[in-house]
Structure 1
Amino acid sequence: MRSPRRPCFLALPVLLLGAVLSASAAASSGKALGGWTPIKDVSDPHVQEIAQFAVSEHNKQANSALALGKVVKGETQVVSGTNYRLVLSASDGSGAPAKYEAVVWEKPWEKFRQLTSFKNLVNS
């Protein structure tokens, strides 16, 4: 004699409850799902590496010669990988520093990095 099958629809309320609790936990922590989170230590070597990559890629794409000064502030966003949005101080050949915003998308498990935007904050 076969045992009766239990309906799968009983799992739906459990899954919905899990989703609600996850969203609630994210909201109570002050972090929106997919939102930007401030980087606490912009002097972290990995953040510095991302900043140097951003300036180097910008220089290749724009045929310019910016030199990274420092990372002023930054944020991360978890996506399929991590987006880094950094405010950088960089100088051109004249030595005059300016602030730029760079966004770099990274997937470290694939050894992938891409500069998705780089803009001068004074001219934008």
Structure 2
Amino acid sequence: MTANRLLLAIVAIISVCVAATALGATAYIVIGGWRHIQNISDPNIQELGQWAVTEANKVSPSRLLTFSKVTDALKPALHFETTKYCLLLIDASRYGVMLKYDVLLIVKNGNPRKLLSFEGAHS
């Protein structure tokens, strides 16, 4: 019975990824899941958040955001040394209203960062 539930869960995850990809979204599958980054006050983590807001502002200059802070950060449980993904939860304000954003980015050694996703957080 447990094997059947596991197989059902795997099929469901694959179906969601395939459906999202078919709708034009990019599916990012992380083997082993995500782990919290313990020290989110680390200047490097906060700088990644600031960079992500700056990049988002380039895409939407008429709706500028002001970075406040990274409130949570996750990294893949398993990762390669040359490529690092980060999932950040960011507080940023627009017109004085504080908003939360989910940010997915990639950092490669020796290469520029790449913002993969910057979306309003769903509570």
Q: Within 5 A, what are the aligned runs for 1:80-95?
A: 81-92=83-94, 94-95=95-96
Q: SS in structure 2 opposite 1:110?
A: coil
Give unmatched runs, 5+ long, in structure 2: 1-29
TM-score of the superposition, structure 2-length normalised? 0.66
What is residue 75 of structure 2 aligned with on the other side? Answer: 76
Give unmatched runs, 5+ long, in structure 1: 1-31
AA of the residue aligned to 1:37:
R
Tell me by how many angstroms 1:35 deviates.
2.6
Tell me by how many angstroms 1:91 deviates.
0.1
Q: SS in structure 2 opposite 1:112?
A: coil
Q: Within 5 A, what are the aligned runs for 1:26-45?
A: 33-45=31-43
Tell me by how many angstroms 1:71 deviates.
0.9
User: 1:35 and 1:57 mapped to 2: Cα distance?
Assistant: 26
What is residue 104 of structure 1 aligned with on the other side? Answer: 105
Count of residues paired in the alignment? 90
Which structure has the larger Rg over C-alpha atoms? 1
TM-score of the superposition, structure 1-length normalised? 0.65
